[in-house]
């Protein structure tokens, strides 16, 4: 694939949006290729963590490709949004943990791509924003939905209504990113975080991811029942018996189930 690259090493898949001359802008081809790669990864047992980043040293994803969107009809624009929603939701719901390594501009669709990942780590040079209203549109790849869930309704409305661009440290302050690191240390840091996560019981990590995501959109009582159900599911995994036995025996567990 020309627009999206994927490299798997040591159970970590690095997925790179590869349009550096276009600041890694998203168009229909990019979304299609990304969808194929995510669908493949989600079925693989040899991949536990996915790191998504952008090619080059300037941009994670600078947004959707405006030149390809300019003459879209309302129906075409809606279809593009729905297609992208499907791919981004696949990232959000895949059993693997998705980490966004935000190495530069994360604007519009780029910010929305980062938000569908489980964790977001940003280079100190990264910037974030949803500038769509300046172009006569709104965020169309779930930015109006995921942003308030991450930073709260007030911050989300301010960012979307003003089209403000914020630096990485401000994104960290409002809870949009988990941590800011020096740019030249970003990928090494993300790999280190990935190694930490995949050293745990990955079946349990995957179940925890599903419990958090599914519980966010239901009432409290339903979410508690959902958690209890998924808690019970963990006891079907060999890692539960091994993890608890190792704890009692004061040794390091041999966790293998995923």
CA distance 115 to 164: 17
pLDDT band at 234 (very low <50, low <70, confident <90, very high): very high
- Pair (137, 238) in one structural domain: no
- Pair (179, 58) in one structural domain: yes
- 189 pLDDT higher than 90: yes
- Pair (34, 47) in one structural domain: yes
In a domain, 143, yes or no: yes
Give the model confidence (pLDDT) of 39-64 as tens digits: 999 999 999 999 999 999 999 999 99
Give the model confidence (pLDDT) of 104-141 as tens digits: 999 999 999 999 999 999 999 999 999 999 999 999 99
Give the model confidence (pLDDT) of 10-41 as tens digits: 999 999 999 999 999 999 999 999 999 999 99
Number of Cβ within a 10 Å radius of residue 176? 24
Residue 223 sits in which domain range? Answer: 202-249
- Pair (127, 64) in one structural domain: yes
pLDDT band at 68 (very low <50, low <70, confident <90, very high): very high
% pLDDT > 90, the chain: 98
* Residues annotated as catalytic (active site), given as ranges: 112, 132
41 CB-contact burial (10 Å; exposed 0-12 / middle 13-18 / buried 19+) = buried
Length of the chain: 258
- Pair (146, 132) in one structural domain: yes
Alpha carbon 62 to chain centroid, angstroms? 16
């Amino acid at each position: 694939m020309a627009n999206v690259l994927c490299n798997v090493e040591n159970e970590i898949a690095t997925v790179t949006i590869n349009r550096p001359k276009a600041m890694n802008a998203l168009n229909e081809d990019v979304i299609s290729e990304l969808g194929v790669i995510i669908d493949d990864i989600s079925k693989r047992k040899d991949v536990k963590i996915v790191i998504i980043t952008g090619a080059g040293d300037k941009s994670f994803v600078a947004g959707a490709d405006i030149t390809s969107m300019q003459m879209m009809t309302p129906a075409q624009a809606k279809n593009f949004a729905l297609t992208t929603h499907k791919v981004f939701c696949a990232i959000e719901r895949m059993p693997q943990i998705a980490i966004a390594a935000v190495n530069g501009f994360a604007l519009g669709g780029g910010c929305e791509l980062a938000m569908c990942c489980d964790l977001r780590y940003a280079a100190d040079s990264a910037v974030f924003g949803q500038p769509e209203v300046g172009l006569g549109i709104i965020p169309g790849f779930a930015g109006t939905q995921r942003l308030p869930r991450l930073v709260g309704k007030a911050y989300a409305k301010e960012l979307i209504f003003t089209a403000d661009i914020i630096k990485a440290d401000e994104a960290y302050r409002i809870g949009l990113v988990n941590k800011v690191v020096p740019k030249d240390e970003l990928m090494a840091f993300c790999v280190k975080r990935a190694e930490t996560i995949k050293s745990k019981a990955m079946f349990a990590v995957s179940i925890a991811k599903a419990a958090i995501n599914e519980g966010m959109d239901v009432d409290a009582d339903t979410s508690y029942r959902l958690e209890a159900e998924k808690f019970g599911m963990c006891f079907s995994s060999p890692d539960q018996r091994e993890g608890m036995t190792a704890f009692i025996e004061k040794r390091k567990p041999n966790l293998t189930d995923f």
